[in-house]
Each structure stands twice: as structure tokens, then as C-alpha cells.
């Protein structure tokens, strides 16, 4: 078990396969050490896996899907219903964005439960980058859908005499509170899960000394469940922010 640099007290974390390789940890690439590049490396691994899986699943499409194709079609169908329930008619338009965020974040969360792997979402830089993507897409779609005047009017709220108070509050919410809450919520939960998992690994090899399960086994099960929930919350809030910016709820 090691302590990550960058925090005063040190955050407990398990070693990754990068830590056991004979690599100079002080060696820098683009000004970043191997330890600082760990989230990027594991993100690239996940992206490569998803790309490979997509190619395999779509190489020979069948009218009656089986195997990987059937599983992925079931997943896409579920995400389509989920996004549609939040965004109405605009749901199909944003399915690629929200669906990709959900699957990508889910795998980034889950990979931390695999020995010698780390969750990229255990790093605030990763979650902040994801939150900024949602922020810029939300602002772009809100202005495109309502126009600059309509979007600013939406941010002034109702009744109109409250605009001097509501407008700065909405600006703070859009440009600070929402992106920060998206990033910190995901980062904090994943970091907490990984820290507790590392602590449990440091316990006795067997649960309570006599059950044939590793001490961290309950935390792995809980981590899988929590990882799925956190990916779902990020996708849900993305839908909510898009719907709010475009006035979809008002139409419904």
C-alpha cells in the first residue's frame, strides 16, 4: 500500500502495475511524472478497450442479435429510455453524449476494483475535465436552442422584479456551482471507495480470520454498486442541466 503525493497527509492507495515495473518514477513526460500520468494511462486503456469492443460488436451485425451484440443493444436500449425520460423528444439527440459519459465513467470507476489497476476518476483532474465537457455542451445547446436573449432571460428567472438578485445567482450556479459539484461529487465518492478498499486490504488476509474471503471482499461488492450509482448520477445530472438550459421541462 502506498500514499499518493499531492496531499498533506497522503491518501492511502493500492499499487498499480505501473508501480511494480522498473520505471524511473522521477522520469517526466510533458512535465508530468509517471505517477501524475497514471489517470491518463488508465483512461487510455479504457478508451482502447471500448474501441476494441465496439469494433468486435459491430463487425458482423445480425438481425437477431446474440452474445456481445445482444448485450450492447440491451444497454443502448436502456440508456435510450433513460435519456428520453429526462429530455423528451430531444433525448435521442443527446443519447451519444450521455450514453458515452455513463459507460466511460462506469468503467473508469470499476477498473479500480481490479487488482493492480487504478480508477482515473480517483483524480480530480479527470472528473473536472468531464464536468467541463458537460458545462460547455450545456451552454452551447442552451444558447443555440433559445438564442442569447432567450437564454439570458431564462437566467433572470421569474418574477421579473427578482432579476437583479436571480441573475447573479444563476450565473454563479451555471459557471461555478454545477461544474464543481459534478467534479467533486464523483471524485470524492470514488476516492473514498478506493481509500477504504486500500485500508481493508491491509487487514487480515481472510475475513475475520476464518471465513475464506479476502477482508476487502465486502468493499469490492459495495464498490461495484456505488460505482454504477455514481455513473448514473453523473448521467442524470447531465440530462437535468441540458433540459434546464433548453427549457425542455417547461415544454413538458
Q: Is the pLDDT of residue 149 over 80?
A: no
**Residue matched to cell numbers 436552442:** 145
Q: Is the CB of residue 199 less than 8 Å from the CB of residue 12?
A: yes
Angle formed at CA 237 by CA 236 and CA 240, multiple of 5 degrees:
90
End-to-end CA distance of the chain: 52
CA-wise closest residue to 3 among 203, 12, 16, 117: 12
CA–CA gap between residue 84 and residue 68 (Å, rounded): 24
pTM tops 0.75: yes
Q: Is the pLDDT of residue 124 over 90?
A: yes
Q: Is the CB of residue 224 less than 8 Å from the CB of residue 214?
A: no
Q: Is the CB of residue 121 less than 8 Å from the CB of residue 129?
A: no
Q: Is the CB of residue 86 less than 8 Å from the CB of residue 236?
A: yes
In a 3-state reduction of DSSP, which class is residue 247?
A: coil
CA–CA gap between residue 21 and residue 27 (Å, rounded): 13
C-alpha cell recorded at residue 100: 458515452
- Bigger pLDDT: 134 or 67? 134
Confidence band, pLDDT 50/70/90 cuts, at residue 209: low
Q: How far is CA 213 from CA 89, 195, 204, 208, in A?
A: 48, 19, 10, 9
- pLDDT digit string, tens, across residues 91-123: 889 999 999 999 999 999 999 888 888 899 999
Average pLDDT rounded to a whole number, residues 25-37: 71
CA–CA gap between residue 190 and residue 223 (Å, rounded): 8
Q: Is the CB of residue 124 less than 8 Å from the CB of residue 183?
A: yes
Amino acid at each position: 500500500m502506498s500514499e499518493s503525493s499531492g496531499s498533506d497527509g497522503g491518501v492511502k492507495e493500492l499499487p498499480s502495475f505501473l508501480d511494480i515495473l522498473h520505471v524511473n518514477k522521477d522520469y517526466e513526460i510533458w512535465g508530468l511524472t509517471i505517477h501524475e500520468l497514471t489517470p491518463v494511462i488508465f483512461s487510455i486503456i479504457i478508451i482502447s478497450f471500448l474501441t476494441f469492443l465496439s469494433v468486435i460488436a459491430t463487425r458482423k451485425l445480425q438481425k437477431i442479435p446474440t452474445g456481445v451484440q445482444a448485450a450492447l443493444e440491451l444497454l443502448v436500449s436502456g440508456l435510450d429510455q433513460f435519456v428520453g425520460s429526462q429530455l423528451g423528444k430531444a433525448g435521442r439527440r443527446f443519447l451519444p453524449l450521455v450514453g458515452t459519459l455513463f459507460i466511460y465513467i462506469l468503467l473508469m470507476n470499476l477498473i479500480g476494483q481490479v487488482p493492480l489497476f487504478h480508477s482515473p476518476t480517483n483524480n480530480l483532474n479527470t472528473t473536472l475535465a468531464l464536468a467541463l465537457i458537460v458545462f460547455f455542451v450545456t451552454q452551447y445547446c442552451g444558447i443555440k436552442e433559445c438564442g442569447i436573449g432567450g437564454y439570458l432571460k431564462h437566467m433572470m428567472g421569474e418574477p421579473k422584479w427578482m432579476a437583479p438578485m436571480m441573475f447573479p445567482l444563476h450565473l454563479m450556479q451555471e459557471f461555478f456551482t454545477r461544474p464543481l459539484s459534478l467534479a467533486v461529487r464523483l471524485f470524492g465518492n470514488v476516492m473514498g471507495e478506493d481509500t477504504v478498499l486500500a485500508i481493508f486490504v491491509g487487514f487480515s488476509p481472510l475475513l475475520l480470520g476464518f471465513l475464506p474471503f479476502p477482508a476487502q471482499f465486502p468493499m469490492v461488492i459495495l464498490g461495484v454498486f456505488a460505482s454504477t450509482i455514481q455513473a448514473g448520477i453523473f448521467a442524470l445530472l447531465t440530462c437535468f442541466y441540458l433540459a434546464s438550459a433548453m427549457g425542455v421541462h417547461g415544454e413538458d
